[in-house]
Structure 1
Amino acid sequence: MTSEGPYIRIDQVSRRYGPVRALDDLSIDIEKHEFIAILGPSGSGKSTLLRLIAGLDRPTTGRIYIKGEDVTELPPHKRGIGMVFQEFLLFPHRTVRENLAFPLRMTKETPQKIADRLAWVEGVLSLNGLMDRYPNQLSGGQQQRVALGRGLVAHPTLLLLDEPLANLDRELRQEMEVEIRRYQKQLGIPFVYVTHNQEEALSMSDRVAVIHRGRLEAYGERQAIYDRPQTPFVARFVGKSTKFAGVVDPTGGFIKLADHDYAVANAATGLHRPGMAVEIFVKNERFDLHPAAEGRAGIPCVVGDVVLRGPFLEYILETGGRERIIAVQPKRVDPLPLGASLSLSWDAGQCHVFAAE
């Protein structure tokens, strides 16, 4: 490795705990100015990866490089990494100033350097007027900014964030999403952000790494991860989707649904051969709804309920069997009434088809 490579390189890293493989041959490159979200369900290996980058744990196999240097065996305090956790971990009997200065005092920085760093972080995070307060005198958002400040005050080479917004209410969490992304762009260092919340991952990051059962399912630009999932798990996990089972018809040009009298064009004829069993994933906001009286081809359904989601409506559709489908539509002046008979369909280019698992 040389300094010409990526800012951070996770190279074929695995971590085993006895028979359990928490991470399995995972490789990720991160550039200097990137905000990377590590997204996955609980137990997928996200926090294990963060601990390996920080030096709090060591990989069973593989290497970790920062700025071209192999840091796999380097202890945490020599890696120049800041960390922010789900719990704020602020000392309750110390002021904001004392909480922020703590990491600098631990590394025996000079009083002048401590004063300079505190002035810098106070300005960056808009902590003016809060420095002499105690944690219990701060709002949740202010406490979060102090926790961020403690991770940044030592001028780290990168910042690791482990679900730092999980304990905030929805409105404050959305405000902090914008603020944290702004800090990252202002500071120009990589942020690696672990979350199971796909809204956070998609709203804050430049690229998203999706991890499932210790393996990297996808890694790429956030819009591409959402719009063009490469595996069934990513199609299922990123964005709210509905899955349909189907079989490619003998001509190879259409996919006949297994549980509905409806066929959709096979947009990838080279990949899905005649007779192949497939799974179709459709994002809930990409369904088309038309009154049944228009006679359009689609899945017959009836509006069972309507849920308001701000500027959108979720239509809970009954299909005559046990299956219920949720279709998300922009809010209308006159929403579809309960009991309305509809035909549900979708454009073949707006769904994702995989060989059946």
Structure 2
Amino acid sequence: MILKRKHISILAMKNANYASVVDARAVFRKVNEICKSEHKKDIFHIQVVGETENIVIEDGLVHIKPDITTSALEKTDLIIIPAIRGDMISSNHGNRFLVDWIIRQYQRNAEIASLCTGSFMLAFTGLLKGKKCTTHWQYANEFRFFYPDVTLIDEKIIVEQNGLYSSGGSTAYWNLLLFLIEKYVSREVAILVAKYFVVNLDKMVQTPFIVFNGLKDHGDEDVLKAQEFIEKNYVERITVEELAERCFLTRRTFERKFKKSTHCTVLEYLQKVRIEASKKGLEIGRKSVDEIMLSVGYFDSQTYRELFKKITGLTPIEYRDKYKK
């Protein structure tokens, strides 16, 4: 097996999640260990790259001294954007001087992988415009609000398009790192690394972990009123016509405004609210699946189970067994 040596740039960013920087470095170093033992050479040249020679993160708890600054690094093969903490837009602004360098490297055929909330920084560069990505499910509404020109597939743990990679919530970035190892080296090496770090190699969706919380900061009072009504009365039979009348709008206008504001149709919103309520019932574990189904407004067992699996990726019984308190 002849492998071309690749340069890996792990960005040291302001407001970065330090663990994602360290973990990315550890994964690629482990691959080098394996390749050295088998082929007597490294496969990755790994460098932590920063805008300056000292980056302070984690509220001053951690100082990172990058191996090289962006101004000194002309060419790289893969950029790792770590997860970021705090206010996403402020974090992007604090790292704005990295944008031109990231774009320039991408134009020189570098690939870019954003870990978890690092997708906000990747979107901030403009490279994701018209493309797909994923992010931590908890930040999905915020991402859609700030980057409406990016298609967010928040149920996925890994999304790849045109050399741009993104991963889902928190530790899902391990799966993206392993995905990259499999692509650049081999599945055999990815399996060895997964075993070493005790990571589930083929986890591909984060739907079982998503807690639905409808987008509320859109500024449309009519839609907000409809959302509140749905969330208080989801057990009852709710029609689009009824909601439109409550807002003194035509059905067509109401549906258009609702979809634009929440990124869901009215039916999708109602379904997600009901399934979220049934998840909580299953977590408590005191009622049967059918009792919970009836308590959230469904009367057809097959429809309920199919919808539950579509939204969560698990059957109601699988979900209860996994998350029962």
TM over 0.5: no
Give TM-score scaled by structure 1 length. Answer: 0.32
Name whichever structure is richer in strand by fraction.
1
Larger-Rg structure: 1
Name whichever structure is richer in helix by fraction.
2
Higher relative contact order (CA 8 A, sep 6+): 1
